[in-house]
Amino acid sequence: MRIRIAHSPDSDDAFMFYPMVSGEIDTEGFQIEHVLADIETLNREAFKGTYEVSAISFHAYPYVADKYLVLPSGGSVGDGYGPIVVSKKPLDTLRGKRVAIPGKLTTAYLVLKLYEPDFCEEVVPFDQVMDKVERQEADAGLVIHEGQISYADRGLLKFVDLGQWWKEKTGLALPLGCNVVRKDLGEETIRKIERLMRRSVEYALSNVDKALEYARDYARDIKESQEKAFKFVSMYVNSRTVDYGEDGRQAVRLLLSLGRERGIINVDIPSTIFSDEV
């Protein structure tokens, strides 16, 4: 059976999927097809149910809950850290400012709207956000992926770390990305994919050198620094990636419910989110 697994071209996703796509673990008879696309593209493709398994933003999940369930493994969770807002010049506020964002369905955008509802967003590809700020074509930029590590190398200033803000506000880690599985695959296939995703993460964490060597090809402007690449991967592939845990699942529900209450999410939040709850 062919299973298309789609994820974003960043080092933490590459790290956790490496054992699965490289044949390091038993795929239980699945023929794995590897698909790469930026996270906002994957969010949009999930609306159509394009891929059997896909990385998406948690912000996007309520809109595709009719088609997908969240796998208990493979999540990207920031515990006291997360997407950051950067600027070229010091800022006192984001209110009324022009902010370059990597997509309106990203979790980073959802959290930024919770932090400050009144700003003027401009959607640009995630890897061009800091370029816009450097050229002062935007007052600030919402940075995801490896830019959270490399922004200072480009002379940019951190205005706020949204993961830190969320932790201070709620006491919880910030769930950012998830891997979803299509409901129409049926229970037996979904259970196999649950096992496969968990084994892939566990293998990567047990074989860090091999997985990191593979993942560094996706690390963009920090790929030349093994230390920085490892730091970034470690931020988002850890024990919470094996399983969210009860507090992680609580954080998911809180984040989505707050988004719904504030009118940022305009669909109902499903009562069942995770595949192992079915």
Q: What is the pLDDT of residues 236-269, one digit of tens each?
A: 999 999 999 999 999 999 999 999 999 999 999 9
Same domain, yes or no, for 120 and 234? Answer: no
Confidence grade of residue 221 (pLDDT, cut at 50, 70, 90): low
Pairwise CA distance, residues 10 & 12, whole Å: 6
Same domain, yes or no, for 187 and 68? Answer: yes
Number of domains in the chain: 2
- Residue 39 belongs to domain with CATH number: 3.40.190.10
Q: Which residues are annotated as a binding site for substrate?
A: 107-108
Angle between helices 226-236 and 11-21 (to 10 degrees): 80
Please return the burial class of 93, using the count of CB atoms within 10 Å of its CB with bins 0-12, 13-18 and 19+.
exposed
Report helix, strand or coil for 5. strand
Last residue of a domain, one of 135, 151, 170: 170
Confidence grade of residue 102 (pLDDT, cut at 50, 70, 90): very high
Last residue of a domain, one of 140, 170, 200: 170
Q: Are 63 and 267 in contact (CB under 8 A)?
A: yes
Q: Which residues are annotated as a binding site?
A: 107-108
Residue 43 confidence (pLDDT): 96
Is 145 an active-site residue? yes
Confidence grade of residue 223 (pLDDT, cut at 50, 70, 90): low
Confidence grade of residue 220 (pLDDT, cut at 50, 70, 90): low
Confidence grade of residue 215 (pLDDT, cut at 50, 70, 90): confident
Residue 229 confidence (pLDDT): 78
Last residue of a domain, one of 152, 170, 188: 170
Confidence grade of residue 130 (pLDDT, cut at 50, 70, 90): very high
Q: Which of 7, 34, 59, 145 is catalytic?
A: 145
Pairwise CA distance, residues 201 & 25, whole Å: 10
Domain that holds residue 214: 2-77+174-277
Residue 145 confidence (pLDDT): 83
